Amino acid sequence: MALSKEEKAKIIKTFGKNEKDCGSAEVQIAILTKEINDLTDHMKEHIHDFHSKRGLLMKVGRRKKLLNYLKENDVVSYREVIKKLNLRK
C-alpha cells in the first residue's frame, strides 16, 4: 500500500520547489492525498478492515491540519494545491 519511490519522486517533482524538497506543506499534502485515495479504494473492497480505516482517518486529519497551516501562511499556494489536487474547499 505504500507509495513506490517513483510515485513519490513524481509527486515531489510536481509539487516541490526542487528535486529534494520533500518536507514542504505542498508536497506533504500531495503525498497524503495519493495515500488517502489508495486507502479509499482499498476500503471499498474491504469494508470491515478497521485498522486501515483508522489509518485513513489519521491521514485525513493530518492533511486537514496541513491545509489549514498552508491557508494561514500562504493563501496563493493553498489555492494552487486545492486546484491541482481537486480537493473540495
| Distant-in-sequence, close-in-space partners of 53: CB < 8 Å, separation ≥ 6 | 43
| Weakly modelled stretches of the chain, pLDDT under 50 | none
Residue 28 is predicted with a pLDDT of 96
Q: Which pTM was predicted?
A: 0.92
The pLDDT of residue 86 is: 94
CATH architecture of 5-85: Orthogonal Bundle (1.10)
Question: What pLDDT shows up at residue 1?
Answer: 61
Cell of 9: 519522486
C-alpha–C-alpha distance, residues 27 and 23, integer Å? 7
- pLDDT value, residue 80: 94
At a CB cut-off of 8 Å and minimum separation 6, what does 78 contact? 67, 70, 71
Alpha helices in the chain (DSSP H): 5-15, 25-45, 50-73, 75-85
Q: Give the pLDDT score at 89.
A: 53
pLDDT value for 71:
96
